[in-house]
Amino acid sequence: MRRVVCRRVLSGIIFTAFLGLMAQGAEAEQVTFPDKPPPESFYVDEVGLIAQTEVEAINGLAGSLLREQQIPIVVVTIPSLAAHNAENYSVERYGWELFNHWGIGSERRSYGMLLLVSSRERRARIVMGAAWKHSHNHQAQEVIDALILPLFKEGKFSQGIVAGVRGMDAMARGLKLPGPKLSWSVIKEKWEGGGWMVTVLGVAFFLRLFRSTSLAQGGPYHRDHYDRGSSSQGSSGSGSSGSGSSTGGGASGSW
């Protein structure tokens, strides 16, 4: 009798585990990803956030960085996670899987970067290649907080994306991050809230710039440390069809 009960319990456990594996497999099959951009392009804009006037800036910055440093930057906007059957995902998980699905970068130099913007979730995510080893998450967060989100909150999505690409380009080259471009409305709002706040914000901003410059001068990603001949992906193309990978490093923010 005990043997029969044990067999039934064991069968139940095995059957439950099997159903769990089937469910996971079904979830993995359902999730979709945007098509890769063509070789001459470095963005996929499913939402239509990027104005045509900004396309040249994005492709120009990303193209130069890829040619000179073999580091690809790719921008992707999606209407929502649900649009890709990933409603049970976080933006962080989806960005990580998209990065690895495309293989941004190369296996030997996995320094790729992905900027993902999910419109309905109102979240932006920078995903960094495995070679960055989580050591530059702080600077990626600065790019999100200081360059991208302030413009997103004003509805200037195209400008915010370009500002983010400029920041990522500076980070990849080991340069200090460009300063945020505050609109007159933002400056006026901060001034009316108290002149002392402007002073405090200014001091904090320059301290952050000083820290970023110090990191750039001593960081392992400085321009002088690059092995330019080691890239297996060549000097053209968006870098989204290589064999690079990410371990989940990067930063996120909401607007």
Whether residue 99 has pLDDT greater than 80: yes
Gap between the terminal Cα atoms of the chain: 62
Q: What is the pLDDT of residues 123-181, one digit of tens each?
A: 999 999 999 988 889 999 999 999 999 999 999 999 999 999 999 999 999 999 987 76
pTM of the model: 0.71
Q: Which two tokens stand for residue 106?
A: 């190369």
Q: What is the pLDDT of residues 3-62, one digit of tens each?
A: 544 455 455 555 444 445 444 554 456 999 999 999 899 999 999 999 999 999 999 999
CA distance 53 to 30: 35
CA-to-CA dists, residue 210 to 117, 170, 179, angstroms: 28, 14, 12
With beta carbons less than 8 A apart as the criterion, state whether 79 and 46 touch: yes
CA-to-CA dists, residue 79 to 44, 49, 96, 99, 121, angstroms: 12, 10, 17, 18, 9
CA-to-CA dists, residue 88 to 29, 83, 84, 253, angstroms: 13, 12, 11, 19
Nearest CA-CA partner of 64 in 182, 206, 168: 168
Q: What is the pLDDT of residues 196-255, one digit of tens each?
A: 454 444 545 545 544 544 444 443 333 333 333 333 344 445 666 577 889 889 999 999
Nearest CA-CA partner of 84 in 135, 41, 36, 28: 28
With beta carbons less than 8 A apart as the criterion, state whether 12 and 212 touch: no
Q: Is residue 73 classed exposed, middle or buried when 0-12, 13-18 and 19+ CB atoms within 10 A define those classes?
A: buried
Sign of the Cα pseudo-torsion (77, 237, 231, 168, in order): negative
What are the boundaries of each domain within the chain? 33-226+235-254
CA distance 27 to 79: 20
CATH number of 33-226+235-254: 3.10.310.50
CA distance 185 to 159: 16
